[in-house]
Structure 1
């Protein structure tokens, strides 16, 4: 008795084999896995990131404090690892919120067409007309400095990219033969959207989403650095760099450690995004 493998499983297997052959993507996955495991389990073996000891302030890296201490005698390694939980969670949360809201808006624009499409796209163009960081700063300033408000602000400036992407995909797919066949069989527009259109947009969504996690982390760190994001003593990477920037000549490790963490995290997501783009690009696949 022979068993048949579903087409989706075969496609996933082929995509994974192609991704494994991409050196950059595998490097990005390795770095990201290391960062995630460090953020999840590292703090279990370290002290509190808020514990202060002015007697050891600005202490250089040592066996007791592997990345040294900051201006208040707090362990930099502990703060960086706790900050990883905050920054990674914030990046993934912003990406999911932007993906869901932007995809629904783009799907509606592509399906409804007419003046609905025009109205939705003009609102999208208004959001895209502003530099994303400046708009996020304005929203954060209006809502007040906090991590929750940073997530809201960054999500509000990130959804238009998904809306435009999904709208373009829906416009390209809604007249295809398999969609016309579903209509001929009596499928409703909502069923066609959920069963036939959305699954065919997953590839570009995965690519866009992987890039946007790194972008969201970088934007949130920028907001934290200028005081619109997480507030002291929260160990968020951008806020940590801001707190220790005045001591960079005395204790460069205090500000360089969170900065390097931001660099590695954004680089990892960009490498993964590049790899996914290569996997799903038909021309590169050939």
Structure 2
């Protein structure tokens, strides 16, 4: 068994996070095959408690909560990974150019990054989502646009530490151009902290997207997105707490899984920890 895998498996929290994540992935991929239509309404069955027919009860419109939570898992994971892909791609590109080119380019790109850091991320995401229009696609774009600066800072710091190393000097001496040095030598060696940060940011992106949906800037009813589901059912907590609790627990477990997984990856991949 590879050494890094053994180190990962010796971290109980990381193993728990991985198991939770695999369970959520299985639920997102195969759960809809065993669930009802998440949009099907039956007002005669509204606010019914959990039962064999409806394992998590029904909501205020008689929709099966289990089916909506299962379909919501697919939506929330897609949103989380979509945000991280866009944000890490943009942030890595900016950080790589800033650290590798230096000089005026570094100042320009880092001042742009500072502009995004100057605003509270949730407030800025709300403003962008409101300007683009409330839907899931625009939610992904809005959250990605407020999280890319983190990756830019990480990659720039790594590139600044690496660009004077011996292997880079050797590549220059052999006639490698700036583009080749950036893409073939600096970028692969700067990706470790990006991977660790991305594992944390998936959960944070899901939480932020759910928050935007909860306040009306993200997914719109009747989309079975967890944040929108909590928003729709919060007024029925006294008589049907299961309707809001189920999607809230889904958000909790998903964010917890990615945080635990991120801790494990950090311990395994950080050479200082080893």
TM-score normalised to structure 2 length: 0.98
* Deviation of the 1:283 alpha carbon: 2.8
> Do the aligned partners of 2:35 and 2:70 also contact (CA within 8 Å) in 1?
no
The aligned residue for residue 270 of structure 1 is 259
Q: Which runs of 5+ in 1 are unaligned?
A: 1-9
Q: How far off its partner does 1:281 sit? A: 2.1
Query: Shift of the alpha carbon at 1:187?
Result: 1.1
Q: Take 2:88 and 2:193, find their aligned partners in 1: how far apart are those partners?
A: 11
Residue matched to 2:134: 145
Alignment of 1:1-286 (within 5 A): 13-285=2-274
CA contact 2:230–2:248 (8 Å) conserved in 1:
yes
Q: CA deviation at 1:238?
A: 0.2
- State the distance in 1 between where 2:75 and 2:268 align: 30
> How high is the TM-score relative to the length of structure 1?
0.94
Q: Which runs of 5+ in 2 are unaligned?
A: none
* CA drift at 1:282: 2.0
Cα distance, 1:209 vs structure 2 = 0.3
Q: 2:176, 2:9 → 1: CA distance?
A: 38
How much does 1:129 deviate? 1.1
Aligned length: 274
User: Please, what is the CA RMSD of the aligned residues?
Assistant: 1.0
Structure 1 CA distance for aligned equivalents of residues 117 and 202 of structure 2: 18
Shift of 1:51: 0.3
SS in 2 for 1:30: helix
Q: Tell me the distance in 2 between the aligned counterparts of 1:154 and 1:105.
A: 17
